[in-house]
Chain A
Amino acid sequence: MQAVTQATLEFVKQYWAPLVCGLVIVGVLPLIVGYVVLVERKIMADMQARLGPMRVGPHGLLQPIADAVKLLIKEDIIPEDADKLVFWLAPVLSVAAALLAIAGLAIGPAFQIAKDVNIGILFVVGVSAMGIFGIVLGGWASNSHYSLIGALRSSAQLVSYETAAGMALVCGLLFAGSLNITSIVQAQYDQGVWFGLLAPVAFFTYLVASIAETNRAPFDLPEAESELVAGYMTEFSGFRWSLYFLAEYTNMIVVASVATTLFLGGWLRPFPRTTWLSFIDFFPPLLMVGIGVYCLMRTPKQPVRVQQTFMLAVAGLCFAVALVLVAPMLVPAVKPLHDGILGAFWFIFKVSLYIYFFMWLRFTLPRYRFDQLMRLGWHFLIPLSIINVLLIGIAMIVGTYFHLQGWSLLLTTSPASIIALIIALFILATEQKSEPQKSSAAPDSYA
């Protein structure tokens, strides 16, 4: 008995950090996703010149919580022809894969669950790709035409763009020389330049492929509401549906984090090696103070007393975060936390910008047709990314021959990127010529 307690204590002592991290992620991520949805609706409203959610809480700030409660108490409908077990399992599988992928990611140098896993980024990509099982099984189990077509489309799309995304990752890994997340970011610190600048074509390829992989517009064909109702989610309602939704948005966060880690310098601030630019460290607290002051200014304009109080609370939260961000720079006692806290801020900031770009594209571009989507993947992105790997390889050899390092490596990689760009334009031109102007074949009902 004593031995067991001893072992448990030892275990907790050794692994308390990942345990706490995991609990926080599982507990907080659904809330974050809820607010990402709110932000998306607000951005959509802003781009369409309307207000968006305004009723629940000031400026709709409590909307996600109301939605969650609604989804929890909704009637649960399982179609009578559905395969009950698979129907139950599919959303669970989808959301578990998406959440598990977060384990490999590092939110700043301090917060990471799988710290010593040496295949870091491969783990994230591999685990998050398992989510497709949830989608295919869900579409098959609901025994509906729309669901099945949505699931098939989704799997074909994911599978087509997985290769292009993998090739783009290879380009970044050529510079990093490691799969471990910490080593990748360290490599970007040592070389002083983000890999996204050294390999812009690879970053672009990954951007497009990641939008397609997360089934976002303009590639949201699996759930194209004008053709397939809701794709693989048609028969899911209530909390099962929200699990799928959670998986989708978590996947968005995962691909954004992978791109941030490999191409945008992870948790490093811009120009990490330039010491005279250290004042950039004051940007995070100033940003939070700015948001707080804006909230304070809006407070008297709220119509109801409760809303005013809530707005004040939000402002207070912003000031508290600003204090946390500024503390390591002023108080010597918490100095060791400097990298951890500011790193987490920069990481979240970059991920937010990446996700904002996703949303911006969604409200700007019209949806692709399925054959256009496949064409873009197989005819354009895959050859381009293969050629880009070779070009980057040549650029690295030439750069080492002339002893170029860090920023000066741009001298060889930017010509390589320009060549890749010319090849891309060439492929696009030939594609345009070969694309059938008028489809002579009968429309395929299952495509």
Chain B
Amino acid sequence: MPKAYLPVLIYAALVAAFPAVTLLFAKLIRPASTSFGAKLKPYECGVPSEGTSRGRYSVRFYIIAMLFVVFDVETMFLIPWAILYRGWVMAHMGLFALVSMFVFLGILLIGYVWLYKKGALEWA
């Protein structure tokens, strides 16, 4: 199976080379930058920037990131189940496969309802 990835590897090298080469090419043909002063400051509609831009930001982004891990891992578990499901249904064992996934999703849905009630999914 690793052999199947060899073309992908070659293509990955090509893809990595493409932006690097074009950036270097652009560097060769464009005029040298002579900018100084305010032009090199971060753009803030003409007003000098206040403070650092790497300060604190809203905690909600962290909550979203944590919730994402939970739900995305859930999707990852669903995908192999989905691949096998058709075979199970054809063998008339679909009910077993479905109920086992019902239990798994049910537990997660309880968690989802709890999050909903707590207001973790609210943004404003």
CB-CB contacts below 8 Å: A123-145 with B? 123, 140, 142-145
A residues within 8 A CB of B98? 390, 393-394, 397
Decide if A18 touches B7 in the complex (CB within 8 Å).
yes
Look across to chain B and name the residue whose beta carbon is closest to the beta carbon of A81. B42
Q: A15-B7, A75-B35 are in contact. Are A96 and B16 (CB under 8 A)?
A: yes
In contact, A397 and B95 (Cβ under 8 angstroms): yes
Instruction: Determine whether the beta carbon of B44 is less than 8 Å from that of A144.
Output: yes
C-alpha gap A163/B112 in the complex (Å) = 13
| CB neighbours of B10 from chain A (8 A) | 15, 18-19, 22
Are the C-beta atoms of A156 and B8 separated by less than 8 Å?
Answer: no
Contact A396 B15 (CB under 8 A): no
Q: Which residues of B contact A152 (CB under 8 A)?
A: 57, 61
Q: Specify which of A79, A155, A396 is in contact with B85 (CB 8 Å cutoff).
A: A396
Chain B residues within 8 Å of A104, by CB: 8
From A15, A74, A229, A400, give the contact of B6 (CB < 8 A): A15
Of the candidates B44, B61, B75, which one forms a contact with A145 in the assembled complex, judged by CB atoms under 8 Å apart?
B44
**Given contact pairs A162-B68, A394-B98, A400-B92, A75 touches B31 in the complex (Cβ within 8 A):** yes
Give bound CA distance, A389 to B79, whole Å. Answer: 11
CB-based contact A239/B31 at 8 Å: no
B30 at the interface (CB under 8 A from A): yes
Q: A114 to B72, Cβ gap below 8 A? A: no
Using a CB-CB cutoff of 8 Å, which residues 83-124 of chain B contact chain A? Answer: 83-87, 89-90, 92, 94-95, 97-98, 101-102, 105, 108-109, 112, 116, 121-124
A432 to chain B, nearest CB (A): 15
Q: Chain B, 42-56, contact with A by CB distance < 8 Å: what is the 0/1 string?
A: 111100010011100
One of A39-47, A270-278, A310-318, A369-377 at the interface: A369-377
Complex contact A159–B57 (CB within 8 A): no
Contact B42–A375 (Cβ < 8 Å): no
Say whether, besides A146-B43, A159-B65, A382 and B71 are in contact (CB < 8 Å): yes
| A163: B residues at CB distance < 8 A | 68, 71-72, 74-75
Which residue in A166, A379, A390 is a CB contact (below 8 Å) of B105?
Answer: A390
Say which one of A321-329, A347-355, A438-446 lies at the interface with B.
A438-446
Residues of B within 8 A of A71 (CB): 26
The listed residue (B26, B83, B94, B123) touching A375 by CB distance below 8 A is B123
Instruction: From known contacts A26-B18, A179-B79, A397-B95, infer whether A76 and B30 are also in contact, taking CB-CB under 8 Å.
Output: yes
Of A76, A91, A235, A389, the contact of B27 (CB 8 Å cutoff): A76
Q: Looking at the complex, which one of A149, A383, A389, A446 makes contact with B78 (CB distance below 8 Å)?
A: A389
A170-B78 Cα distance, complex, nearest whole Å = 7
Question: Could you list which residues of chain A lie within 8 angstroms of chain B, going by C-beta atoms?
Answer: 15, 18-19, 22-23, 25-26, 71-81, 88, 91-92, 95-96, 99-100, 103-104, 113-118, 122-123, 140, 142-149, 152, 155-156, 159-160, 162-163, 166-167, 169-171, 173-179, 229, 234-235, 238-240, 243, 370-371, 374-375, 378-379, 382-383, 386, 389-390, 393-394, 396-397, 400, 436, 439, 441, 444, 446-447
Known: A72-B25, A92-B23. 11 other contacts (CB 8 A): A73-B30, A100-B12, A140-B54, A144-B49, A145-B42, A156-B61, A173-B83, A389-B105, A393-B98, A397-B89, A400-B94
